[in-house]
Structure 1
Amino acid sequence: MKAKLLIIEDDECYATALQRRMIKHGFNCIWAKHASDALLLARQHLPSFVLLDMKLEHESGMQLIRPLRNVLPQSRIVLLTGFASIATAVDAIKLGADDYLSKPADTNTLLRALGKVEQSKSEEDDVSSLSARQAEWEHIQQALKFNKGNISATARQLNMHRRTLQRKLNKKPGN
């Protein structure tokens, strides 16, 4: 039986990339875009693992940690953020998160945070995992596809300056 993973992420492109990566590692993924949907899905599916975005569209993922912990006392909850700070990391752990990671996180980092693997030499050499730069590149490509190649719309969706996005696109990460 596959382990259930609830992904709570308002960015559809990033959620899709996460799902694709986690399915390859044996997870049955469930996706929620909003806090209300997340709690409902948590009660229905009782996932063993949760990847929670700190900044949802109009809500804070931090406010979901306690309710999720109440519904899923044995589940592993990992908070993901593009705005990492020591203060929010401490707050997240105090609220009940098991780990706190900056986006984009590579596959092995996610798996370690979820408690699915120990770091070993063979995992460091695993070609199926993505580095942070490769994960970011994949996320950008998904957003570009979603926006039909429109650089300005993609930059707005990624909350990034258009020139910054263009620089990143010119620096394709090595495989």
Structure 2
Amino acid sequence: MSRRDDHLSDDDRILWNLVARSARPLKGKTAVEIPDVIEAKPEPSPGPVNGAPAVVAKPKTQHVAHALDDQTLHKLKKGRLPIEGRVDLHGMTQDEAYSLLLTFLHRAHAGGIRYVLIITGKGSSSGGDGILRRAVPAWLATPAFRHLVSSHDHAARNHGGSGALYVRLRRIRS
């Protein structure tokens, strides 16, 4: 089954722009400029449902994942703050890793877990830095993860070093 869809979701468009920025042009070719700002398409207002007027939800504030503060990072590195969950993405494709990470973070957040460790691996088999090592921090800044993740930072050497990330999940609002 092949289906062609010319419309990318905002998440897909953001992810594509991150990937496109990291690509280098072939020898003898010029680079294509990628705009910094993605123009948002206005969404059509929903019509009435069962004769009742449609309720339009107000836009939520956008949360941006920040780096962990120094005190929290130090406590995590020294083991004074417990890492309550961990997920290993070694050897997975980007699609597999993305869906596993999203599912894992949803479950951890729902379970009230605060700090998790994401192991991406260093990915030096092809001579460069790993795909997941570069992609996961970018994913954490996308709207799909933004409501789950408060902040993230590179892990200490004893937790995987540059091949792992500490992630602080947002608190559940009651």
Shorter-chain TM-score: what band?
under 0.3
Q: TM-score, normalised by structure 1?
A: 0.26
Greater RCO (CA < 8 Å, at least 6 residues apart): 2
- What's the TM-score, normalizing by structure 2? 0.26
Give the structure with the larger helix fraction. Answer: 1
